[in-house]
Amino acid sequence: MNPETSSTIPIVLPEKINRLVDFMKSMQHCVVAYSGGVDSAVVAKIAALVLGERAKAVMAVSPSVATGEVESAKTLAEEIGIDFHLIHTSEMEDPRYLKNDERRCYYCKQGLYLALKEFVREFPHTTIANGTNTDDLGDYRPGLEAARELRVVSPLVEAGLNKQNVRQLAKQWNLSVWDKPATPCLSSRIAYGESVTPERLRMVDQAETYLRSLGFRELRVRYHAGDLARIEIPQGEVSRFATLAEDKKIANRFRDLGFRFVTLDLVGFRSGSLNSLVQITKSPS
């Protein structure tokens, strides 16, 4: 471990941290596929600590990025102390992506990693790293296939770190996002088989922004056929939501945004709930 970083490496999870540090030290230069979420923030932090100026955080911008995420990611990069860059991706020009079948995430990540490979052409011997953790390996994430194909590495997986471990590290480092809810791309809110369009992304984005203004922190607004909004919030907040919904302001706001029907999912918030709509066949490992 570099002497200048030893005092800033957390003392929790020492074996996993040592593996993480050793893995980062094997790189000459690193570009982190950075979103401003807790996972990529931890990868960016360890990259900055170990590699210093040889590490960069690169965020992709497109209509599928929620309002405010770019500015908050930029602020977080300054907090981390890593060189921050923006690139623009063109998934909205890919008909395979717009079709929105169960492979949509693959096409998105493929486009992202190809754009990052183009970015690093001027920086020889650069490794591209993502924020995948070990918990992600048990979910349906076709984007992981794109990462393997394009030789994008996953430092958190290499070190054996799961989501809880990642949040522990982020808290030890006093990163402001240590308890930030996951914020996947807006396209992940649109039910498989319903086309991804800028208008639908706008509807979802503004609907979620509105609910956050009411004090809901962990939530999803899912778009289904017929301009139907299915709202997911933690079950413990359902009664408060019902009270707020009594005066019809929430329903009226959603209709103003373009939704014809507004529903509350009584099962509650759960990440990746739209995966239940498709028959998933995982390729053998």
Return averaged pLDDT per consecutive 10 residues of the chain, 285 residues in all: 49 85 97 98 98 98 96 98 97 97 96 97 94 91 95 98 96 95 94 97 98 96 98 95 93 98 91 58 38
Of 156, 137, 178, whose CA–CA distance to 46 is shortest?
Answer: 156
| Domain architecture of the chain: domains with CATH | 3-172 (3.40.50.620), 186-277 (3.30.300)
Inter-CA distances, 163 with 95, 97, 133, 173, Å: 33, 28, 6, 15
Write out pLDDT tens, residues 70-125. 999 999 999 999 999 999 999 999 999 999 999 999 999 999 999 999 999 988 89
Distance CA 92, CA 85 (A): 21
The predicted model scores a pTM of 0.89
Q: What is residue 270's predicted lDDT score, i.e. its pLDDT?
A: 74
Q: Whose structure tokens read 């960016």? A: 44
Count of beta carbons in the 10 Å neighbourhood of residue 132: 24
Q: Which strand (E) or helix (H) includes residue 147?
A: helix 143-149
DSSP string covering 41-87: HHHHHHHHHHHGGGEEEEEEESTTSPTTHHHHHHHHHHHHT-EEEEE
Distance CA 131, CA 169 (A): 13
Write out pLDDT tens, residues 41-72. 999 999 999 999 999 999 999 999 999 999 99
